[in-house]
């Protein structure tokens, strides 16, 4: 028959093996050590301290040492040595062997701990890199959806601040102006206070959104940080005059972390006073060596310290943003060139025709009123022949500048071609349109154009024709009316404004 003790041990081992899958690692190790001790004692009880039991004691000490390091080694050696002294005359010898087993177990335990720590570090880095790549992928997709600079900046800062992104509490972006003389606050995301930040984040968490959803959410007016943006856009940081942290980051072309504020630095003092920053990081935005701006981040809500590894994760986004901004600006310049006159800077004939048709449709629906001005420089061929084409171009530019200064807001000044200019005046009455036309004529007459006194009339002047849209009128009819009025202004002596009234046929 099987002894009762062996049956009990066997049952205990089976039950323990089942239970250990539902316990924590600590209790698993403790159970393993206890079972080992029980088996050793059972064998010792029935077989004496033979050679086999001797080995089992050493294994027991090793297991406990490997499981609980120094504490386990000390406890197991004491227990094993006490029992062996009581049962064997060679206890002292066995104690030395047990001590060696304990040392070996502790060394292996330490090695295991180092390996686990190393694995955790590598897994952590792998997770971070995977997360950053995922963010870059989402941002790349989002960036491709627009060519607007404002929306591009919004997407980049959302990726930096969103908990589903890099997770910084706040981000500000400054852009270098075209002359590279100063940095202008452009856009910012984040709260001005801890309580405000917590409320916003709780609202976001309750919606269970991914980064793409968060980008769309940030376009919602209720999630715009209007006070932050208002303060930011009021900031202009001189770029070339002054040694400050922004200039340092751009010239050294690397991120800078400010942990202790330097109040002698004007930018650091301004950020501290305006946005209550106590520590922050500055990441430069560069594209092929050209300075485009800086991104400033801080953790004003959770007060997490800024470390270089986390800040370095912004660098790829800043580089991607720099390229996207340059491409967007190039696109905007190309679009602007396609609708503007190269000499005068006014809108060109193509833009005029497109806009005229759109405004005429609105006027036909009764949404707006619409008037059209056509102006022509008097005796321009004489001015060109007398003064040369260079001065002729200067005269065209001068007239264009006068028109641009007086035709503002929603009104559309254009160069129609040659020495002829047009202006679309939506949402003004015929009397208001007449006043604008007369102001333009008088301003040109007063302007001191070079050698204007040599003109047949003693000065450089313009003639102006004006017509207003009426329901049922075609676009061509409106243009013909304004053109007829201009012809009459020329025929009747030049340097005047003639209004073409609907139903009145001019000679």
Do 105 and 154 lie in one domain? The reply is no
Same domain? For 109 and 170 the reply is no
- Please name which of 426, 436, 413, 437 lies closest in space to residue 346, comparing C-alpha atoms: 413
Within a domain: residue 381? yes
Q: Band the pLDDT of 201: cuts 50, 70, 90.
A: low
Angle of helix 226-233 versus helix 266-275 axis, rounded to 10: 150
pLDDT above 70: percentage of residues in the chain: 63
274 occurs within a structural domain: yes
Same domain? For 151 and 276 the reply is yes
Pick the closest to residue 138 from 316, 3, 307, 289 (CA basis).
316
Task: Looking at the structure, tell me whether residues 426 and 482 fall in a common domain.
Answer: yes
CATH number at residue 366: 3.30.70.270
Q: Which of 284, 306, 335 is the last residue of a domain?
A: 335
Place of tokens 């040659």: 418
Most confident listed range (23-37, 183-197, 281-295, 396-410): 396-410
Determine whether 443 is exposed, middle or buried from the number of CB atoms within 10 Å of its CB (0-12, 13-18, 19+). middle
**pLDDT tens profile 143-173:** 666 667 677 777 777 777 765 556 788 889 9
pLDDT tens-digit readout, 222-275: 445 677 888 888 888 888 766 899 999 999 999 999 999 999 898 999 999 999
309 and 378: one domain? no
Are both 97 and 48 inside the same structural domain? Answer: yes
Residue 340 in any domain: the answer is no
- Strand order across the beta sheet in which 497-500 lies: 412-417, 420-426, 370-377, 462-468, 497-500
Give the DSSP H or E segment for 62: helix 51-87
Q: What is the pLDDT of residues 69-101, one digit of tens each?
A: 666 555 665 566 565 655 555 555 555 555 555
Residue 125 lies in a domain: no
pTM: 0.57
**Residue 308, both tokens:** 């270089």
Shared domain for 329 and 356, answered yes or no, is no
Residues 444 and 481 in one domain: yes
Give the three-class secondary structure for 224: coil
Tell me the average pLDDT across 428-446.
95
* Helix runs in 340-429, H state only: 349-365, 380-387, 389-406
Q: What is the mean pLDDT of residues 386-394?
A: 93
Task: Grade residue 455 by pLDDT with cuts at 50, 70 and 90.
Answer: very high
Beta-strand relationship, 280-287 and 256-258:
antiparallel
- With residue 457 as reference, give the H or E element that holds it: none
Of 95, 116, 137, which marks where a domain is finished? 116
With beta carbons less than 8 A apart as the criterion, state whether 210 and 162 touch: no
Pair (242, 153) in one structural domain: yes
Q: pLDDT value at position 181?
A: 87
pLDDT band at 17 (very low <50, low <70, confident <90, very high): low
Look at residue 348 and tell me whether its pLDDT is greater than 70: yes
| Same domain, yes or no: 76 and 173 | no
Terminus-to-terminus CA distance in the chain, angstroms? 135
Higher per-residue confidence, 325 vs 44: 325
The answer to whether position 379 is within a domain reads: yes
Surface-to-core class of residue 295, CB atoms within 10 Å of its CB (0-12 exposed, 13-18 middle, 19+ buried) = buried
Whether 71 is covered by a domain: the verdict is yes
pLDDT of residue 2: 47
Angstrom distance (rounded) from CA 217 to CA 231: 22
| pLDDT, position 333 | 83
Q: Are residues 355 and 329 in the same domain?
A: no
Q: For all residues of the chain together, what is the average pLDDT?
A: 78
Whether residues 386 and 485 fall in one domain: yes
Based on the structure, what is the number of domains in the chain? 3
| More confident: 314 or 126 | 314
Cα–Cα distance between 135 and 150 in angstroms, integer? Answer: 20
**Domain carrying residue 196:** 146-335
Using an 8 Å Cβ cutoff, are 154 and 214 in contact?
no
Which pLDDT does position 221 carry in this prediction? 43
Of 285, 306, 335, which residue constitutes the final position of a domain?
Answer: 335
Q: Is 427's pLDDT higher than 60?
A: yes
The two most distant CA atoms of the chain are separated, in Å, by 140
**The pLDDT of residue 465:** 96
Q: Where on the phi/psi map is residue 126: left (φ > 0), alpha (ψ -120 to 50), or beta?
A: alpha
199 or 281, greater pLDDT = 281
Please tell me the predicted confidence (pLDDT) of residue 133: 63
Q: How confident is the model at residue 318 (pLDDT cuts 50, 70, 90)?
A: confident
Q: Which of 90-99, 108-117, 433-442, 488-497 has the lowest mean pLDDT?
A: 90-99
* Contact (CB, 8 A) for 385 and 367: no
Determine, yes or no, domain membership for 240. Answer: yes
Q: Which of 69-78, 173-182, 190-199, 373-382 has the highest mean pLDDT?
A: 373-382
Whether residue 138 is contained in a domain is answered as no
The residues pairing with 237 across neighbouring beta strands, listed in sequence order, are 183
The model's pLDDT over 30-66, given as tens digits with 9 standing for 90+, comes to 656 665 666 666 656 655 555 555 566 666 666 666 6
pLDDT band at 319 (very low <50, low <70, confident <90, very high): confident
């Amino acid at each position: 028959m099987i002894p009762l003790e062996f049956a009990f041990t066997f049952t205990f081992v089976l039950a323990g093996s089942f239970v250990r899958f539902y316990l924590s690692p600590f209790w698993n190790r403790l159970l393993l050590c206890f079972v080992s001790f029980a088996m050793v004692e059972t064998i010792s009880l029935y077989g004496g301290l033979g050679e086999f039991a001797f080995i089992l004691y050493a294994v027991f000490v090793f297991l406990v040492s490997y499981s609980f390091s120094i504490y386990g080694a000390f406890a197991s050696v004491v227990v094993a040595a006490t029992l062996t002294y009581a049962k064997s005359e060679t206890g002292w010898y066995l104690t030395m062997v047990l001590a060696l087993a304990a040392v070996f177990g502790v060394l292996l335990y330490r090695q295991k701990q180092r390996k686990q720590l190393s694995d955790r570090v590598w897994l952590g880095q792998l997770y971070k890199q995977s997360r950053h790549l995922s963010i870059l992928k989402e941002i790349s997709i989002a960036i491709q959806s627009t060519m607007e600079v404002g929306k591009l900046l919004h997407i980049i800062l959302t990726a930096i601040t969103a908990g589903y992104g890099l997770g910084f509490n706040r981000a500000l972006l400054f852009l270098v102006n075209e002359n590279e003389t100063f940095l202008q606050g452009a856009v910012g995301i984040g709260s001005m206070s801890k309580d405000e930040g917590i409320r916003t984040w709780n609202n976001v968490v309750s919606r269970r959104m991914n980064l793409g959803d968060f980008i769309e959410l940030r376009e919602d007016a209720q999630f715009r940080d209007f006070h932050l943006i208002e303060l930011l856009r009021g900031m202009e940081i001189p770029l070339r005059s002054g040694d400050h942290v922004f200039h340092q980051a751009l010239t050294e072309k690397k991120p800078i972390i400010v942990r202790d504020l330097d109040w002698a630095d004007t930018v650091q003092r301004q950020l501290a006073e305006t946005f209550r920053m106590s520590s922050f990081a500055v990441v430069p935005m560069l594209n092929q060596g050209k300075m485009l701006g800086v991104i400033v981040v801080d953790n004003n809500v959770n007060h997490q310290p800024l470390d270089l590894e986390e800040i370095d994760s912004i660098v790829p986004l800043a580089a991607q943003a720099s390229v996207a901004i340059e491409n967007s600006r190039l696109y905007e310049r190309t679009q602007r060139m396609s609708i503007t006159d190269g000499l005068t800077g006014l809108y060109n004939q193509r833009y005029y025709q497109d806009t005229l048709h759109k405004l005429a449709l609105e006027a036909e629906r009764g949404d707006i009123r619409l008037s059209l001005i056509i102006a022509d420089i008097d005796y321009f061929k004489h001015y060109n022949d007398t003064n040369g084409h260079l001065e002729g171009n200067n005269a065209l530019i001068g007239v264009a500048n006068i028109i641009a200064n007086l035709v503002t807001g929603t009104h559309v000044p254009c160069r129609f071609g040659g020495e002829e200019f047009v202006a679309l005046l939506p949402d003004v009455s015929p009397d208001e349109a007449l006043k604008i036309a007369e102001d333009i004529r008088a301003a040109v007459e007063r302007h001191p154009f070079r050698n204007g006194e040599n003109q047949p009339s003693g000065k450089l002047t313009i003639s102006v024709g004006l017509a207003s849209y009426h329901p049922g009128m075609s676009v061509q009819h409106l243009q013909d009316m304004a053109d007829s009025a201009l012809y009459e202004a020329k025929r009747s002596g030049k340097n005047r404004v003639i209004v073409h009234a609907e139903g009145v046929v001019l000679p």
